[in-house]
Structure formats: structure tokens, C-alpha cells
Structure 1
Amino acid sequence: MGTLASISVHAPDNAQTQAALQSALKTLDTLNQTWHPWESGAALAQFNASIRGGNWVPVPAQLLPLLRTALRYHAESQGLFDPGLGALTALWGFKEAPDPGIQHPPPSLSAIEELLKKGVGIGHLQLRQDSSGAWMARSDSPALILDFGGLAKGYAVDVVIDELARYGIHDAVVNLGGNLRVAGSKGGEPWRIGIRAPRGDGVLAALRTAENMSVLTSGDYERYFIHRGTRYHHILDPRSGAPARGLISVTVVTPTGLRGELASKALFIAGPRDWPRMASRLGIDKALVVEENGQVWVTPAMKPLLEFAPGVRARVRALPLPPTDSGQAA
């Protein structure tokens, strides 16, 4: 999934634990192969190719849960979370993670505008059930390429925690590039999670976890390149077709990894002025947000969970969330 994966468990070092870990890693490999948007043998890549003709085609069973979830959160986030930007991702050179610090120019504004006019975004996907109850899909745009990179890791950490539980392991941390799901404890003590500083190699804060929670971070430091001193990262704003601006890191705490990853992306794209409203709309009460200027914002429900690194506290301000939007999604 374009990142490092780690699984930590508090369990006896025996054959059952080793079998659980091997099964979990195999599950991650299977999910990666299924959801890859570019490799020809992947189910998602084949589905992308099949919908380009504009005809109704069957939705593979292994893609249906994520596809329906993606459509739901696209609506809840008012279009900010959009897993239909694969063509833009490719145009910007983020099909794979660039080498750290690499320098090259961004795509031209005309190339971005041309793609936007053709029609990118999951809003161009139609989904229905036929008379037999089978799910069918089609696209009204030849430029639509689904890319589940913005939700697959959150979904995967949930799946792996469930996989470990089937082997009797209930104390674990699964981490996919800063997307974590925590279960149980470490010998009766809470797991402590470090939240990466978006600039440099340090830690912004340590987070004390409950027995079952997810900690998801979206930042501009995982996939990016530099051009003339400007950082261009992979979290694209569907409204402009360019990297979202104003924030450099968003961390949220949620019950599940899937919801957390979707929400962290939506808040990041919402930007400095609108992320509190979007958090309220999505039902996110625990968030830690870092602006481009270094200002750190934390919601009241998040603050008690955090121990900030020396030198960070002076930049931290609490920000109550606005009332829930009327008619918003739960």
C-alpha cells in the first residue's frame, strides 16, 4: 500500500502467535494486490478498465464494501474525500511514493484543467442493483480512475485486528504508515503512540490509548516532491486538482481505522478555516491539527490524551468544535 507495515503484539512467543502474524501479513498482501489501481492483475485495476466504456458492469464482491463506503463518505464530506482522483494522482506523479526530497516540476495548470473538464471524481460513478440483486456500476467519464489509497490503510488495520483476534490475540497495535489501530493493552498498561512531527524526525506528542481505538494521521510528508522551494504532496483537493494547502498534518482518534482515515483526509483538505466544521459534520471530536505556520490546534476531547514534546506546548491552542450541522451525517 505504498508504506511500511508493522504489527506489534503482546502475546506468548509460540507457534499460535507466529501463525497469527503470518496470517495477518498474508492478509495485508492480499488486500494490497486486490486494491492496487494500476497493476493489471489487481481487481481494482481491472474494474477501472471495465467501467471506462460507459456500460454497466458487475462489481467484484471483494470491492463492493469499500466502494459503497467510499460513496457514502464522499457524500458525508461534501465531496472533499474523493477516491476517484486516480488520473490526477498519476498526472502529479504519485502512483508510487517519490524518493524523499526529490525535485521536479509539477504538471502544468492546463493539464490539470483538461483532466478536470473531462471529469474526474467518484461522482462520475453510478451504482445500482439489477433485478437479481447483483451490484452493477458504470462511469459517465472516461477519466475516472478509482484509487483507494485514501481509505485502504484504515480499512486494512481494522481487518488485521479482527484477524489477530480470531487467533486469540487481543493485545496488539497495527501500523500502516501512521495509520494505527490499537487493541487491548501492553501487559495491562496502555499502548503509547508517538505522533510524528510533520517537519523533522522528532515526535510531536505521545498519545495514551484506550483499549480499542484508532489513531490516523494525514500529512504532507509521506509522498511529496520539491520544486523551487515549494512542497507538492499527494493529498489532492478535488476542487482544484492540486495539493491541498494550509495544513501539514491532521491526526484524529476514532473507534475504527476506516472512519479515521477518511475523516483525516477530509479535514486536511478542508483547510485551516473549515476543518472544525468538517470535524463536527463527520462526528470527529478528537483531532490534532498542524498549520503550515507551525500553529498546533487540539480539540478539547483530544487534549487529555496527549503529552506534547518539549518546545511544542507553546504552539498549542485548544479549539472547541462548532455545533453539529443541521441535517449532517451521523
Structure 2
Amino acid sequence: MLKRYFLFLLCLFLLTNFAQAQRLPTKTPQQYKKVLLLMGTRFELAAVTTDEQLAWEAIAAGVKEIQRIEALISEWQPTSQTSEINRNAGIKPVVVDEELYELISRSNRISRITGGAFDISFAAIDKVWHFDGSMTKLPSSEEVAASVKKIGYQNIILNPADHSVFLKNKGMKIGFGAIGKGYAANRARDVMREMGIPGGVVNAAGDLTTWGRQATGESWYVGIADPAEKDKVFSWLTADDIAVVTSGNYEKYVELAGKRYSHIIDPRTGYPVSGLKSVTVVCANAELADALATAVSVLGADEGLRLVNQLKGVECLLITENNELLTSENLQLHYYKNKPLTSGAVREENTQNR
């Protein structure tokens, strides 16, 4: 009898607690975001999870990874391996970490498939074009030709046996301005995802990569800026587990003799590119999208689309100087009105990197 009584009490306890648990609100995912200055530009890292502490820990780990990459690849930091390569141009090879060696190797492969439209040795260009308002006349053809003499990815000599890098000619330099942010975004995403963050975004001033879903369960949406009014969005792309990178000529340019010259320079000729206002590349890899956005801007609409259409898993959207919208063959373009980039609860931490 006593045993049955205790069994009754146990059942009553379990039923009561089950009922109370049913009445408790389910903990829903939230989005946590941090904005700060890294690699000389604005980075935004967002994590979607039900665990706030894990979110901030993952974001901090992502920031630390970006800082580590900057210390490795920056040509502006004298202690970086990239600076060591540049100091020894025309002198001797420099043995570097496998990570940097492989990044340079991938960069050279992109240079080959783009015919030099993308080239990390562009860092050696002599500045004859200035986009700070100081230019009053066009540089001479001789000045322009001389400005690109030290550029040439073919003269970046790689030795896989010892992971050494040799810049063949004195005065050569390499820099990762057109690929480094995309690589850093990839790595920060991987670090956060490996820590158990099911969804998020890493946005490096427009070099953006996403994974998972928003806190609401919706897809991520990426706004494509209107070149005529850069603070407005003219179209949206769905962006699930994808990278989206945009390169545009509408933010930095110079006008001389009634003509506008873009800040995007063709590394093969030294002249500003023309024909395209905006290039958006979509693929799974932010590093590749970063490099191809620059390359397609240089190649122009016809040659750029021809290249992208041959690359599996790569899509692009172009806006010409005549405001014509062109897309690659398989681009999934969606239009939304008044659709926010993110929705649901957002907790944000704004920070300046000091």
C-alpha cells in the first residue's frame, strides 16, 4: 500500500512538472552582432544561436582569427611574412607558412584563368592616378606605361619543396587587397561554425559570407546597392550558405575633361577600367568571389560573363554604365521591396578597434 502511494506521488510530480514545462516559453534563437574596424575596414560578425554566451565567445574567436590573418598577410605591417617577401624582391626567396604559400598559389591560379585581370603583384603599381581630389590633369601615356612595369604574376616564383616565395624583379610587391578580406571572412566563418554556431554572417565591408539561417528561420538576404544612389537597394539576393561580393566604381573616381575615371585600374595596362558600374559575384567561397569581382570589373561585361559562365558554382550580376542589368546564365535573382537584411531580435555591440 505504501509503495503504491509513493508511486502515485511520483506520477503526480512528473505530470505536474511536465505541465509546467509545457507552459514555459521555448527559448528561440537570437542574433548577436558586433561591428568593428579590422584590416583597415568595417567588419560585421553576427551569430544566430540560443546560447548568448557562446555567441559572444564565437564572435570573439572570429575577430581573433581575422587579426591573426592580418598579421600574416598585411604588406603594411613590417613584421608580416608578406612584408618580408617584398623586402627581398629581386634578392632571395623567403620561406613562409604553408597558409600564406597556399594563398599566394591560389592567387596565381586566379591570375592565370583571368589572363592577369587579377594580380596580387598589383601592389607594386606606381601611383599616377589619384582619387582624393588632387588630380588636375591626365597622366601621360609614358607615365601610365611605366606605372605597371613591376607588375606580373608570372614573376612570383613559388617553390613547393620548401614553401618559399621569390619575387623575381627588384621593386616588385605583392598585396592582398583584392582577396584578403574574402579569405579572412571565410576563416572567421569556419571558426564560428566549428564552435557550434548554426547560423551567421561575416561581412567585410561588402565581402560577405553566410551560413545557416536568420533567427526567424528565414534565408539571409543581401542587398545590391543602386550605383546611382549607393544608400539605396535596388534588388536582393537570397544568400544561404553562400558568399556575395560587390565591386563598384561609384564610390571612388576622378573627373577630368568631362570624363569619369574609375579607381579600379587594369593591372595589365595601368588605365582605369570602364563599362561597368557594379559587379556582384556569388559563390560558396568569399575569397574566390572577392578576387573575381575585381577581375570581372577589369575584363568588362562580355569577357567577364564569358569567364563566369565557365566556372561551376559561380554567378554574377553586372550593372553597366548605361544602367543595363546583366546576369550570368544561372544567377538566382529575387526582388523584394522593403525587405530588411536581417530580422528578428538583434543584440549588437559596436566597437572601434584601437
Same fold (TM over 0.5): yes
Residue of structure 2 equivalent to 1:158: 186
Residue of structure 2 equivalent to 1:208: 238
CA distance in 2, matches of 1:89, 1:249: 25
Alignment map for 1:159-174 (pairs within 5 Å): 159-174=187-202
Question: Does 2:301 align with 1:272?
Answer: yes
Amino acid at match of 1:277: R
The alpha-carbon deviation at position 51 of structure 1 amounts to 2.5
Cα pair distance change 1:282/1:121, threshold 3 Å: farther
Q: Secondary structure at the match of 2:326?
A: strand
Residue of structure 1 equivalent to 2:343: none
Q: Secondary structure at the match of 2:41?
A: coil
* RMSD between superposed Cα atoms in Å: 2.4
The match for 2:171 among 140, 143, 161 is 143
Contact 1:103 1:226 in 2 (8 A): no
CA distance in 1, matches of 2:59, 2:103: 24
Question: Does 2:221 align with 1:192?
Answer: yes
What's the CA shift string for 1:152-204, capped at 9, x where partnerless? 11111110110111221120011111111010001311011111122322112
Residue of structure 2 equivalent to 1:237: 266
Cα pair distance change 1:277/1:50, threshold 3 Å: same
CA distance in 2, matches of 1:66, 1:29: 16
The match for 1:15 among 50, 53, 74 is 53
The alpha-carbon deviation at position 18 of structure 1 amounts to 1.0
Cα pair distance change 1:27/1:219, threshold 3 Å: same
Residue of structure 2 equivalent to 1:327: none
Cα pair distance change 1:160/1:222, threshold 3 Å: farther
Amino acid at match of 1:34: L
Contact 1:51 1:57 in 2 (8 A): no
The alpha-carbon deviation at position 225 of structure 1 amounts to 4.4
The match for 1:109 among 108, 117, 141 is 141
Instruction: Give the structure-2-normalised TM-score.
Output: 0.76
Q: Secondary structure at the match of 2:49?
A: coil
CA distance in 1, matches of 2:59, 2:328: 35
Instruction: Give the structure-1-normalised TM-score.
Output: 0.82
CA distance in 2, matches of 1:221, 1:282: 27
The alpha-carbon deviation at position 230 of structure 1 amounts to 4.2
Contact 2:101 2:165 in 1 (8 A): no
CA distance in 2, matches of 1:141, 1:156: 29
Residue of structure 2 equivalent to 1:322: none
Amino acid at match of 1:163: V
Q: Secondary structure at the match of 1:289?
A: strand
Q: Secondary structure at the match of 2:335?
A: strand
The alpha-carbon deviation at position 135 of structure 1 amounts to 1.8
Cα pair distance change 1:62/1:77, threshold 3 Å: same
Report percent identity of matched pairs. Answer: 27
The match for 2:285 among 247, 256, 260 is 256
Residue of structure 2 equivalent to 1:125: 156
Contact 1:263 1:282 in 2 (8 A): no
Cα pair distance change 1:229/1:309, threshold 3 Å: farther
Residue of structure 1 equivalent to 2:89: 51
Contact 1:192 1:209 in 2 (8 A): yes
Residue of structure 2 equivalent to 1:80: 117
Contact 1:266 1:278 in 2 (8 A): no
Cα pair distance change 1:189/1:281, threshold 3 Å: same
Amino acid at match of 1:180: L
Consecutive unaligned residues in structure 2, runs of 5 or more: 1-38, 339-354
Amino acid at match of 1:57: V
CA distance in 2, matches of 1:35, 1:82: 15
Amino acid at match of 1:52: G
Consecutive unaligned residues in structure 1, runs of 5 or more: 311-330
Contact 1:83 1:122 in 2 (8 A): yes
Question: Which deviates the most, 224-233 or 257-266?
Answer: 224-233
Contact 2:207 2:244 in 1 (8 A): yes
Amino acid at match of 1:44: T
Cα pair distance change 1:20/1:56, threshold 3 Å: same
Q: Secondary structure at the match of 1:250?
A: strand
The alpha-carbon deviation at position 85 of structure 1 amounts to 0.7
Contact 2:86 2:167 in 1 (8 A): no
Contact 2:48 2:55 in 1 (8 A): no
CA distance in 2, matches of 1:146, 1:10: 37
Greater Cα radius of gyration, structure 1 or 2: 2
The alpha-carbon deviation at position 32 of structure 1 amounts to 2.2
